[in-house]
Structure 1
Amino acid sequence: MASPPVYSLIATDLDGTLLRHGDTVSVRSRAALAQAAAAGAQHIVVTGRPVPQVRHLLVELDYRGLAVCGQGAQVYDAGADAMVSSLTMDREIADQALGKIEAEVGEVFAAVNQDGIDGLMLIEPGYEMPHPTLPAVGVGSRAALWCEPINKVLMRHPTLTDDELATAARAAADGLVTVTMAGPGTVELQPLGVHKATGLALAAASLGIAAEATITFGDMPNDVPMFHWAGHGVAMANAHDELKAVADQVTLSNEEDGVAIVLEELFA
């Protein structure tokens, strides 16, 4: 009788982790995930991107499982092209949080991801897209950001670093929202208590898989909660120091197939 896999669930971030430059997944990574699946493990994508910004990638990957999106606010069934669950952010609280942050650090430029499978990304004047290939719609004022339900707010500051902005935002908006730093130029506000681990825990429970049977891969501070939740956390060589500090293991970079290297050893 074949022995069960060391880990039943493989949870991977996308940007800076599974994805290489140009939003591609290497042949080696695809093969390693297929090898793990053949051994009985399941793969789940856990990304800060909302569903509308990740659907095309999942189609290209022929990915048909659950995906945790929007920093944990959304659980999406790629095979059925349907939302399993989705949490929205109170827009009055979001606006209040931005005001408190600006009272401390000066003007910030904001964007929002709208709720739903086809939700838009709206950007106010002055906001520069950190990932320029993703679609966005410009609006004339901040008030226009709140026209439809949203799942998160993104913000940028003209002079502060991402770490400085995230630290200041956590202090200013404490008790109102969850603040995460998800990548270069990407400091975000989510509903209070919502993060990647809450979405991953929900998805894993629906699959009947426990935290200790889960291995996670990531590269940014927004992956810290799921590293704390899972049985094993693997940081990429290109990861932020905050994530490396809580990782159980550090592998090679995303460009060097760091995810595949770990999976090949585990599921050989």
Structure 2
Amino acid sequence: MAAPTDCSLIATDLDGTLLRGDDSLSDRSLAALALATRAGARHLVVTGRPAPGVRPLLDRLGSTGLAVCGQGAQVYDAGANRLLHSVTLDRELAETALGKIEAEVGEVYAAVDQDGVDGLTLIEPGYRMPHPTLPAVRIGRRDDLWVLPITKVLLRHPFLSDDELAATARSVVGSLATVTMSGPGTVELQPCGVTKATGLALAAEHLGLSRERTVAFGDMPNDVPMFHWAAHGVAMANAHPELKAVADEITTTNEDDGVAVVLERLFGGTGGAGRGGTRPHACRSGLHPHG
């Protein structure tokens, strides 16, 4: 194996970042990740998807290592198919938070991700999954959402935008939960204080890797804490303005293999010649962690 570059940890979001809109992984992205691995870097998936929903993608990536799932609530060991770390959302607090939100904006549609490597995604009547390829079980009434431990609540509103719903939720939920927005039609309630950064920090510590040598890729506001933690944050061209505002670099879109564009540059590949993103940086020349 070649000596590692200064970028020894690559943290990638999935939806809107590493994955294309049809949930596919391009050959170019797979080749770029393999290039980085040969150079000694480790790749960590850091996603809002729960561990059960990530397993098929990890198989496609050939990954048997760690993944950060559930917006940082889970650190999953793919090789052993077990959770090294998991934080659940108190179900009474979740119900209270949901009631406070509905008191402000009217009825919302809710879903939950259950805890565990075999946990289900349950959706109540009216809730529509933002990714139709993700498995979900429709239940008959809201009370059925709270039967088993959960890691998060997913919310949709009939007509409010995601930004409007997230802003209202943050204003009324307070310390009951952490409010995140992870994609179109995906506003979520997490355990208080849990973010992608907290999960990534735990996984990096387990691997003996540091934030000073981490480059992170993302596209939505839920990636902001991860960008603040990592030495270098790369936003996709299709990213939410809130994430672009804190990014060190903006690459091309997920449909145009934006992750691969940067990795090819950092690790010496030639596949992306002439197709790089804006504000290029060389990882070897020194990345500095956010303050």
How many Å apart are 1:70 and its aligned residue? 0.3
Q: Secondary structure at the match of 2:255?
A: helix
1:5 corresponding residue in structure 2: 5
1:146 corresponding residue in structure 2: 146
Runs of 4+ in 1 over 6 A off after TM superposition: none
Separation of aligned partners in 2, 1:245 and 1:64:
34
Contact 2:11–2:216 (CA<8 Å) still a contact in 1? yes
1:223 corresponding residue in structure 2: 223
Separation of aligned partners in 1, 2:141 and 2:208:
45
Number of aligned residue pairs: give it. 267
Separation of aligned partners in 2, 1:30 and 1:222:
24
Q: Secondary structure at the match of 1:175?
A: helix
1:246 corresponding residue in structure 2: 246
How many Å apart are 1:3 and its aligned residue? 5.8
Separation of aligned partners in 2, 1:198 and 1:3:
28
Contact 1:236–1:252 (CA<8 Å) still a contact in 2? yes
Contact 1:6–1:266 (CA<8 Å) still a contact in 2? no
Separation of aligned partners in 2, 1:171 and 1:21:
31
Contact 2:3–2:40 (CA<8 Å) still a contact in 1? no
Cα offsets for 1:89-125 (capped at 9, x unmatched): 1000000000011111111110000000111111111
Which one is further off, 196-205 or 25-34? 25-34
Separation of aligned partners in 2, 1:17 and 1:197:
17
Which one is further off, 126-135 or 163-172? 126-135
2:209 corresponding residue in structure 1: 209
Which one is further off, 188-197 or 18-27? 18-27
1:257 corresponding residue in structure 2: 257
2:159 corresponding residue in structure 1: 159
2:50 corresponding residue in structure 1: 50
Q: Secondary structure at the match of 1:239?
A: coil
User: What's the TM-score, normalizing by structure 2?
Assistant: 0.90
**Structure 2 segments unaligned to the other structure (5+ residues):** 269-291
Separation of aligned partners in 1, 2:3 and 2:153:
45
**Structure 1 segments unaligned to the other structure (5+ residues):** none
Cα offsets for 1:118-176 (capped at 9, x unmatched): 11111111111111121111112111100000000001011100000000000010111
How many Å apart are 1:211 and its aligned residue? 0.8
Which one is further off, 139-148 or 180-189? 139-148
Which one is further off, 184-193 or 77-86? 77-86
Q: Percent identity?
A: 71
Cα offsets for 1:50-72 (capped at 9, x unmatched): 01111111112211111000000
User: What's the TM-score, normalizing by structure 1?
Assistant: 0.98
Contact 1:196–1:222 (CA<8 Å) still a contact in 2? yes
2:168 corresponding residue in structure 1: 168
Q: How does 1:1-268 map to 2 (within 5 A)?
A: 4-268=4-268
How many Å apart are 1:6 and its aligned residue? 2.0
